Homo-oligomer: A and B are copies of this chain.
Amino acid sequence: MHIDLEQKFTKFTEHWHPYIVGELNDNYVKIAKVKGELIWHKHDGEDELFVVLAGTLMMDFRDKPTIATKPGEILIVPKGVEHRPWTNDEEVRIMLIEPKSLKHTGDIVVAQTVENLEWI
């Protein structure tokens, strides 16, 4: 399956709303536009891969310094590790690879939580 991410990004405008663009093994490939900040959360059973396609993704951790990830860099957040993604005043584009079982904002439900992920 060939997927043009640039073309997929033209199909939505919301921030912090991941859309599914592909699947492999028991994982989904998702894309999202993010701007501002999400809540602190963790995923007890799943490691999470962030691939930054445009802009700089900032990630706070409870017990270590904030990490900035840019295009050409990736970030893996291990299972169980609390994290808070945010951006400076810019829209950042990311690709996520995560087990299908993963919930968007962990066990916390907030306004930004997407309960039912959709394909785009």
Contacts and interface: CB of A to CB of B under 8 A. Distances in A.
A63 to B, nearest CB: 15
This protein's copies in its complex? 2
A6 B72 contact: yes
Instruction: Place the interface of chain A in its size category.
Output: 20 to 34
Interface in A51-102: 51, 53, 67, 69, 72-76, 78, 95, 97, 99
Could you say which of A21, A69, A72 has the most chain B C-beta atoms within 10 Å of its C-beta?
A72
Contacts of A22: 49, 74, 76
Interface of A: 1-6, 21-25, 27, 29, 46-49, 51, 53, 67, 69, 72-76, 78, 95, 97, 99
